[in-house]
Amino acid sequence: MTARIIDGKVIAAELRARVAEEVARVKREHQVTPGLAVVLVGNDPASEVYVRSKHTQTQAAGMASFEHKLPADVAQANLLALIEKLNRDPTVHGILVQLPLPKSLHTETIINAIDPAKDVDGLHPNNAGRLAGGFAALSPCTPLGCIILTKSVHASLEGMNAIVIGRSNLVGRPLVQLLLNENATVTIAHSRSKDLPQLCARADLVYAAVGKPEMVRAGWIKPGATVIDVGINRLPIADGKTRLVGDIAFKEVSEVAGAITPVPGGVGQMTVACLLVNTLRAACALHGLPKPAV
């Protein structure tokens, strides 16, 4: 079997186009321009690329984009003061602090300072708790993207056996909750799980989000399973250059799986598109408007 490739680039482009249509409608009918503020602390090269892409895609969708770049040695009090200012700014409907933060800053304190109604990353404990309780919440973007990609293959996930490898607050934990909301049966695994290959072999849906290059091998995969790779690992090649690989051994797993996401060009593409969705939803909720159609 050769797996169908789930094209994140195409699916993300379609989603961004639907967001742009809804943004235009909300501007026309309600004179509201959704606004996203992104805060970047320091100069991590990958984070700089992601923040630039957020800025470009936010503007392309017709939203207002506010970028705040702070030095790596910024005092925590100053960062908190900026967040407080953004919380009060009526033109800002979404606030995102790019992660990881420099070690000198306490990530939990920073995230907790964001108004939960503007927390388009879905990381504030109010949103994480609401998601875990099965209530409406702003949910983290990458897991949202994983669900959309999975549903491009399976209209319903009800009763399917899913395994999530990884338990981070950004991906693994919220993904488990989103899968439960879809009525999937979910196994949560992580770096210390025993018998990982056997656990995977039972799964119809495999999500790898551990940050270990090509860890998941063909022998772990049930034939025909849908495999979603969240890993973004940079492996050094010649001349100081790097190449991107996921957490799935793509070539060999493609021979067994029914459908698979590539890296790059899979889940990563969905992260920013889902951020636009969350910003639009937050703007509508903050203005008491009906939920947008996306």
Spatial separation of the C-alpha atoms in residues 197 and 278, rounded to whole Å: 35
Query: Which residues contact residue 60 at a Cβ distance below 8 angstroms, ignoring those fewer than 6 apart?
Result: 16, 20
Among residues 289, 276, 210, 217, the alpha carbon closest in space to that of 251 is found at 217
- φ, ψ dihedrals at 184, nearest 5°: -80, 160
> Does residue 254 touch ligand LMY7XDAE according to CB under 6 A?
no
Contacts of 14 (CB under 8 A, 6+ apart): none
Q: Which of 98, 118, 177, 247 is catalytic?
A: 98
| Binding track over 79-118 against ligand LMY7XDAE, x by CB under 6 A | -----------------xxxx-------------------
**Is 194 in the active site?**
no
Q: What is the identity of the amino acid at 110? A: I
Pairing of strands 35-41, 161-165: unpaired
Distance CA 156, CA 150 (A): 9
> What dihedral do alpha carbons 119, 228, 53, 67 form, nearest 10°?
20
Among 271, 273, 278, 281, binds ligand LMY7XDAE (CB under 6 A): 271
Token pair for 251: 């070539």
User: Catalytic: 54?
Assistant: yes
Least distance from C-beta 274 to ligand LMY7XDAE, angstroms? Answer: 8
Query: Helices marked H in 155-225 — which ranges?
Result: 172-181, 196-201
| DSSP β-ladder status, 233-236 and 242-245 | antiparallel
Closer Cβ to ligand LMY7XDAE, 269 or 279, answer by number: 269
Does residue 166 have a known ligand-binding role? yes
Closest Cα partner for 183 from 152, 204, 209, 210? Answer: 204
**Interface segment toward ligand LMY7XDAE; rule CB under 6 A; list 127-135, 150-158, 181-189, 268-276:** 268-276
Which CB sits closer to ligand LMY7XDAE, 26 or 114? 114
- 121 lies in the site for ligand LMY7XDAE, by CB under 6 A: yes
195 carries an active-site annotation: no
Residue 268 engages ligand LMY7XDAE in binding (rule: CB under 6 A): yes
Cβ within 8 Å of residue 182, ≥6 positions away: 147, 156, 157, 158
Instruction: Please state the closest distance from residue 284 (CB atom) to ligand LMY7XDAE, in A.
Output: 21
- Give yes or no for residue 207 binding ligand LMY7XDAE (CB under 6 A): no
Per the CB < 8 A criterion, the answer to whether 160 and 184 are in contact is yes
When asked if residue 150 is in the footprint of ligand LMY7XDAE (CB under 6 A), the reply is: no
244 is a site residue for ligand LMY7XDAE (CB under 6 A) = yes
Binders of ligand LMY7XDAE among residues 49 to 78 (CB under 6 A) are: 49-50
| Span of 76-84, 155-163, 188-196, 260-268 interacting with ligand LMY7XDAE by CB under 6 A | 260-268
* Candidates 57, 118, 119, 121; catalytic one: 121
Nearer to ligand LMY7XDAE, 34 or 268 (CB): 268
Residue identified by tokens 């010649």 is 238
Question: What are the tokens at 28?
Answer: 């026309």
Residues that bind ligand LMY7XDAE (CB under 6 A): 49-50, 96-99, 121, 141-142, 170, 232, 244, 263-265, 268-269, 271-272
Summarize the annotated binding site as residue ranges: 166-168, 232
Summarize the annotated binding site for NADP(+) as residue ranges: 166-168, 232
State the catalytic residues: 54, 98, 121
